[in-house]
């Protein structure tokens, strides 16, 4: 059995807490905390995924109102034991250069682009956790024949669960979280 490096051993019996991520310089980039356990990206990111996130970030930034920012690679502190890192968020948080996470109430939209290793978490675990934290909009993007397929969800406040609001191919038009019109075919090369 291989011994774990010291930094991977939780400082307390109940595991890790969200604030612990800020004091672990040894942790690999994109380390997430789900239910007090680390989740690491095990495989290199695919170019399709990376290109889609970049293109979508640009498209949403162009359409976002002045009080919203579109950000990548920032964690969301859902609670003391959960700090996932969505592929993209739309936030109303004021800019702070040393900030390392956003609070759920500062998030208007979370976007996860499904990878083979993250499929279960993106489709079920994160969908449930983002809703329970009160984030109003969630997009889960799948790859279908090389093109993006977007599952859109809206928060049902009384139940703190997401309701499906549509599945989009080729084009996505939504009135929330702000007026959005995206040609999905242009988000990936060859589209």
What is the model's pLDDT at position 162? 98
Q: Give pTM, 2 decimals.
A: 0.94
Segments forming the whole domain that contains residue 164: 14-186
Which residues, 6+ apart, have CB-to-CB distance to 9 below 8 Å? none
Q: In 45-122, which ranges are continuous DSSP H helix?
A: 47-63, 119-120
* pLDDT computed for residue 53 by the predictor: 97
Sign of CA dihedral 86, 90, 92, 97: positive
Is 133 domain-assigned?
Answer: yes
On whether residue 145 sits in a domain, the answer given is: yes
* Position 62 in a domain: yes
Q: How many CB atoms lie within 10 A of CB 59?
A: 19
45 CB contacts (<8 Å, ≥6 apart)? 115
Residues 136-149: tens digit of each pLDDT: 999 999 999 999 99
CB contact at 8 A, 49 and 113: yes
Residue 50 lies in a domain: yes
User: Would you state the pLDDT for residue 147?
Assistant: 96
Three-state secondary structure call for residue 20: helix
CATH number assigned to the domain comprising residue 120 = 3.90.1570.10
pLDDT for res 191: 63
The pair of structure tokens assigned to 143 is 């790859």
pLDDT digits (tens, 9 = 90+) for 15-64: 899 999 998 888 888 899 999 999 988 778 899 999 999 999 999 999 99
User: What is the pLDDT confidence band of residue 190, given thresholds at 50, 70 and 90?
Assistant: confident
User: Is residue 1 situated within a structural domain?
Assistant: no
The answer to whether position 3 is within a domain reads no
* pLDDT for position 1: 60
- The mean pLDDT value of the chain amounts to 94
What SS3 state is found at 60? helix
Write down the pLDDT at residue 34.
95
Quick check: is 191 in a domain? Answer: no
Total number of domains constituting the chain: 1
C-alpha to C-alpha distance for 183 and 191, rounded to whole angstroms: 9
- Who has greater pLDDT, 74 or 28? 74
State pLDDT tens for residues 165-174: 999 999 999 9
Residue 101 lies inside a defined structural domain of this protein:
yes
């Amino acid at each position: 059995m291989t011994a774990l490096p010291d930094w991977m051993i939780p400082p307390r019996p109940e595991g890790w807490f969200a604030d612990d991520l800020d004091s672990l310089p040894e942790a690999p980039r994109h380390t997430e905390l789900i239910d007090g356990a680390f989740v690491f990206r095990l495989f290199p990111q695919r170019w399709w995924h990376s290109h889609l996130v970049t293109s979508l970030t640009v498209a949403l930034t162009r359409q976002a109102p002045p009080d919203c920012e579109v950000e990548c690679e920032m964690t969301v502190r859902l609670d003391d034991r959960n700090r996932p890192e969505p592929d993209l968020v739309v936030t109303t948080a004021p800019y702070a250069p040393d900030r390392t996470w956003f609070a759920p109430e500062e998030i208007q939209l979370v976007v996860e682009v499904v990878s083979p290793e993250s499929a279960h978490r993106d489709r079920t675990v994160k969908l449930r956790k983002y809703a329970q934290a009160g984030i109003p909009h969630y997009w889960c993007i799948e790859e279908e024949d090389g093109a993006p397929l977007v599952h859109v969800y809206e928060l049902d406040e009384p139940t703190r669960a997401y309701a499906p609001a549509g599945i989009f191919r080729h084009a996505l038009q939504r009135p929330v979280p702000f007026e959005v019109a995206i040609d999905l075919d242009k988000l990936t090369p060859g589209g």
